[in-house]
A = this chain, B = another copy of it.
Amino acid sequence: MNEGFTLWFTGLSGAGKSTLANLLADELRLRGHRVEILDGDEVRTNLSKGLGFSKEDRDTNIRRIGWVCRLLARNGVIAISAAISPYREIRDEVRAMHDNFFEVFVKCPVSTLAERDVKGLYKKALAGEIKNFTGVSDPYEEPLKPELIVETDRETQAQSFARLLASLEDKKMINRKGAAR
């Protein structure tokens, strides 16, 4: 118990990956875990400046995040990635370099995301103004066997979060509430 692992969120932009990642990180710290979030933007600044959004560049970016997650995880940290990571093959490559890996598919249809469109990106992408926009003008390959699927168009944030915590507790990957050391 209390050993590191990598928790890998994958899903479209706006589906709720970062929100869940932050909720989870706060809760896990309260429970005594060491946690790091590898957030897409921060990683692009610090590890992947110069990379774009071609398949090759996306793959390189994801491999780098995976490599850093692995370094953290094998040192007792819960490493959380919240990058889109659209390609199954690369996600599975990252999984294969880990002893403990937990993949969460944050599922939400493009139609719902386009309605919400918090950042106005889907409107632009659907109008053809953004190239290589995942789910619109670029592929997103759903995971075939993620450890968990949360459907953020059908459940509240609180429900998704509760299911995520329960699933990690069931697998004894995290401390239970009040069990912090």
Assess whether A31 is interfacial by the CB under 8 Å rule: no
Distance (whole angstroms) from the CB of A62 to the closest CB of chain B: 12
A22-48: which have CB < 8 Å to B? 34, 36, 46-47
Inter-subunit contact A64/B47 (CB<8 Å): yes
Inter-subunit contact A46/B34 (CB<8 Å): no
List residues of chain B with CB within 8 A of the CB of A149.
none
User: What is the chain B residue whose CB lies nearest that of A42?
Assistant: B67
Report the bound CA distance from A14 to B68 in whole Å: 27
* Contact digits for A68-89, partner B, Cβ 8 Å, 1 yes 0 no: 1001100111000000000000
Q: From the candidates B46, B60, B75, name the one contacting A75 in the complex (CB within 8 A).
A: B75
Known pairs A34-B76, A71-B72, A72-B72. 8 more at Cβ < 8 A? A34-B75, A46-B63, A46-B64, A46-B67, A47-B47, A47-B68, A49-B60, A75-B77
